[in-house]
C-alpha cells in the first residue's frame, strides 16, 4: 500500500483509510514480476466471466473470500444504430447496468467488502446518494454483516428502499453528500465499524479498475482512442488509468493510452472547473445539484488523480446541462435498447459536443460508460 501523493508505504495486511501524513488516498501495489510469471491473457481467457478472473491483480488474498454475484465482465457493445444516428462509426458502450445491483458500484463494493471481511471487519458504514449504498447493502447482506448507510434526506425513495430491503440501516441526514460523509465517519469511529467511502478506502478503486482490464481484453488487448466517463468521485477513471499501467508493465498492452474524458453536470462540475483552470486540485463546489445523483460530488478526495489522468492522456473535461442529460436518456435508451441512467446518458451528451467540435475524429474508437440502470430513476420520467 502506497500513498498516491507522498509515497508513504503502509503494511498491506491491515485496514487502511487515507494516508496518515497527508490525508490522500492509498493505492494497492502488486508484485507484477511475479504476476507476469504466473498468468497470461490466455489463462485469463479460460476463466469465468466475472471480474475475479483478474484475481492475481486484486487485493483479496485468498480467492475463497470473494463475495461473488457475477459482477463485472459486462458487455462492450458496438452501438451501430446510435452510431448511425450521430453519424459515427466506432461508437461502443460498456453497459455497466448488467452488474448485480444495477450499477458498476458493485465492482468497487464487492472488493471493499470482501477485503474488509478478510481483514476481520464486523460492521460497515457508507455515505452515498444512491448506487454505492445499494451495492454495499447487497454485499453486506451476502456476507451476513450489519450495514449502516448515510444518505442525504432528499435522495430518491428507490435508493432508500433498496438498502432497507437488503437489510441495511438507513440514516437520513440534512444537507448534501459531504455532510453524509461526516456523519458516516463519526458513526464508524464511535461504533467500531469500517467506513467504505470512496477512495478513503483503498479497495473500491481496485474493484473498479477491472473495467480497464475488461476493455483491453474485450478489444483483444488494445485500447480505444477515447473513453467518456461520467465522473463523481472519479474512482473508475482513476482505477482504469492504474489498470492500463499495470497491464503495460505486464506486457499485455503497449504504451498507447486513450484520451480520457470527464463528464459532469453543469450543476456540479468541480473537476471541469479545475481542468479549465489547469489546476492540480479542485475547489469545493457550492450548492451542487444534478438529476444524475452519481455525479453530485462537490469535492473528490482523488481530484488530483483524476486531473492527472486527464493531463497525461491529453483528455478533456466537459459539463453538460441536466436538460440535455434528460433528453439523452430517451435517445440513448431508444436507439440502443439499454435503459440508461442519467449518468450514462450524460456521456452521450458529451460525445455529441466533442464530435461536433471536432475533438473526436471520425475514424476513432470511442467508448461511452453506461454506468447503471435507468430503472432506479423512474422519478425523473414520471411525466
Ligand atoms: C457513482 C456513479 C458514477 C460516478 O462514478 P465515480 O467512479 O465515483 O466517478 C457514475 N454513474 C453512476 C450510475 C454512479 O452510481
Q: Is the CB of 343 under 6 A from ligand 1?
A: yes
3-state secondary structure of 119: coil
Average pLDDT of span 222-250:
98
Q: Is the CB of 96 under 6 A from ligand 1?
A: no
117, HSE (Cβ side, Cα atoms, 13 Å): 22
> Using one digit for the tens of pLDDT, what is the confidence trace for 121-170?
999 999 998 899 999 999 999 999 999 999 999 889 999 999 999 999 99
Average pLDDT of span 93-99:
98
Does the CA dihedral 8-10-12-15 come out positive or negative?
A: negative
Q: What phi and psi, each to the nearest 5 degrees, are found at residue 230?
A: -75, 115
- What is the percentage of the chain residues whose pLDDT exceeds 70? 99
Q: Is the CB of 108 under 6 A from ligand 1?
A: no
Cα dihedral: 180, 185, 189, 194 (round 10): 100
Tell me, in angstroms, the distance from the centre of ligand 1 to residue 108's CA: 11
> From residue 106, how far is each of 84, 98, 101, 156, 306 by CA, in Å?
32, 10, 7, 19, 21
Q: b/e map of 38-70 (b: 16 or more CB within 10 Å)? A: ebebeebeeeeebbbbbbbbbbbeeeeebbbee
Q: Is the CB of 235 under 6 A from ligand 1?
A: yes
Residue of 151, 232, 339, 373 best suited for mutating to test ligand 1, as the one with most atoms within 8 Å of CB: 232
Tell me, in angstroms, the distance from the centre of ligand 1 to residue 33's CA: 32
Q: Is the CB of 370 under 6 A from ligand 1?
A: no
3-state secondary structure of 196: coil
pLDDT at 229 over 90: yes
Do you know the residue count of the chain? 383
Domain boundaries, the chain: 76-103+204-380
Does the CA dihedral 217-196-105-21 come out positive or negative?
A: negative
Give the sheet arrangement for strand 194-195, strand by strand.
Answer: 169-173, 147-152, 124-127, 194-195
Q: Is the CB of 156 under 6 A from ligand 1?
A: no
Tell the residue nearest (CA) to atom 10 of ligand 1: 294
Q: How far is CA 305 from the centre of its chain?
A: 14
> Using one digit for the tens of pLDDT, what is the confidence trace for 171-222?
999 988 888 999 999 999 999 999 998 778 999 999 999 999 999 999 999 9
Q: Is the CB of 372 under 6 A from ligand 1?
A: yes
Query: What's the pLDDT score for residue 178?
Result: 82
- What is the percentage of the chain residues whose pLDDT exceeds 90? 95
Return d(Cα 192, Cα 170) in angstroms, integer.
18
The reply to whether the predicted model has a pTM over 0.85 is yes
Q: Is the CB of 374 under 6 A from ligand 1?
A: no
Return d(Cα 109, Cα 353) in angstroms, integer.
33
Q: Is the CB of 224 under 6 A from ligand 1?
A: no
Which CATH number, 3.40.50.2000, 3.40.50.720, 3.40.50.1100, 3.40.50.10440, labels domain 76-103+204-380? 3.40.50.1100
**Pairing between strand 226-230 and 366-370?**
parallel
Mean pLDDT across the chain, nearest whole number?
A: 96
Residue of 74, 106, 131 best suited for mutating to test ligand 1, as the one with most atoms within 8 Å of CB: 131
pLDDT at 382 over 80: no
Return d(Cα 227, Cα 218) in angstroms, integer.
14
pLDDT band with cut points at 50, 70 and 90 for residue 333: very high
End-to-end CA distance of the chain: 49
pLDDT at 262 over 80: yes
Tell me, in angstroms, the distance from the centre of ligand 1 to residue 15's CA: 24
Tell me, in angstroms, the distance from the centre of ligand 1 to residue 269's CA: 14
Query: What's the pLDDT score for residue 383?
Result: 60
pLDDT band with cut points at 50, 70 and 90 for residue 9: very high
Amino acid at each position: 500500500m502506497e500513498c498516491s501523493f507522498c509515497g508513504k508505504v503502509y503494511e498491506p495486511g491491515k485496514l487502511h483509510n487515507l494516508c496518515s501524513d497527508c490525508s490522500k488516498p492509498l493505492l494497492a501495489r502488486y508484485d507484477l514480476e511475479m504476476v507476469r510469471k504466473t498468468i497470461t491473457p490466455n489463462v485469463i481467457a479460460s476463466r469465468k466471466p466475472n471480474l475475479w478472473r483478474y484475481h492475481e491483480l486484486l487485493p483479496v488474498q485468498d480467492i475463497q473470500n470473494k463475495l461473488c454475484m457475477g459482477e463485472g465482465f459486462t458487455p462492450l457493445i458496438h452501438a451501430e444504430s446510435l452510431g448511425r444516428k450521430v453519424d459515427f462509426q466506432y461508437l461502443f458502450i460498456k453497459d455497466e447496468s448488467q452488474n448485480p445491483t444495477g450499477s458498476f458500484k458493485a465492482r468497487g463494493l464487492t472488493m471493499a467488502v470482501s477485503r474488509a471481511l478478510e481483514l476481520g471487519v464486523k460492521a460497515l458504514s457508507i455515505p452515498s446518494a444512491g448506487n454505492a449504498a445499494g451495492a454495499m447493502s447487497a454485499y453486506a447482506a451476502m456476507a451476513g454483516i450489519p450495514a449502516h448507510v448515510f444518505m442525504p434526506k432528499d435522495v430518491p425513495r428507490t435508493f432508500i428502499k433498496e438498502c432497507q430491503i437488503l437489510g441495511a440501516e438507513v440514516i437520513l441526514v440534512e444537507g448534501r453528500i459531504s455532510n453524509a460523509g461526516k456523519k458516516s465517519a463519526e458513526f464508524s469511529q464511535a461504533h467500531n465499524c469500517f467506513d467504505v467511502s470512496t477512495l478513503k478506502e483503498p479497495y473500491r478503486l481496485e474493484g473498479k479498475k477491472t473495467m480497464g482490464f475488461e476493455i483491453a481484453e474485450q478489444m483483444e488487448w488494445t485500447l480505444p482512442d477515447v473513453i467518456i466517463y461520467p465522473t463523481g468521485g472519479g474512482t473508475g477513471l482513476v482505477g482504469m488509468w492504474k489498470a492500463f499501467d499495470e497491464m503495460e508493465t505486464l506486457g499485455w498492452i503497449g504504451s498507447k493510452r486513450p484520451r480520457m474524458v470527464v463528464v459532469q453536470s453543469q450543476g456540479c462540475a468541480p473537476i471541469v472547473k479545475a481542468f479549465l483552470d489547469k489546476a492540480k486540485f479542485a475547489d469545493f463546489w457550492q450548492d451542487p445539484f444534478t438529476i444524475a445523483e452519481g455525479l453530485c460530488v462537490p469535492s473528490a478526495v482523488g481530484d488530483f488523480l483524476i486531473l492527472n489522468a486527464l493531463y497525461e492522456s491529453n483528455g478533456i473535461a466537459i459539463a453538460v446541462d441536466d436538460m440535455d442529460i434528460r433528453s439523452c436518456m430517451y435517445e440513448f435508451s431508444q436507439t440502443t435498447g439499454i435503459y440508461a441512467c442519467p449518468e450514462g446518458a450524460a456521456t452521450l451528451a458529451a460525445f455529441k459536443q466533442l464530435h461536433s467540435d471536432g475533438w473526436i475524429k471520425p475514424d476513432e474508437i470511442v467508448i461511452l460508460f453506461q454506468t447503471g440502470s435507468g430503472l432506479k430513476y423512474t422519478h425523473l420520467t414520471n411525466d
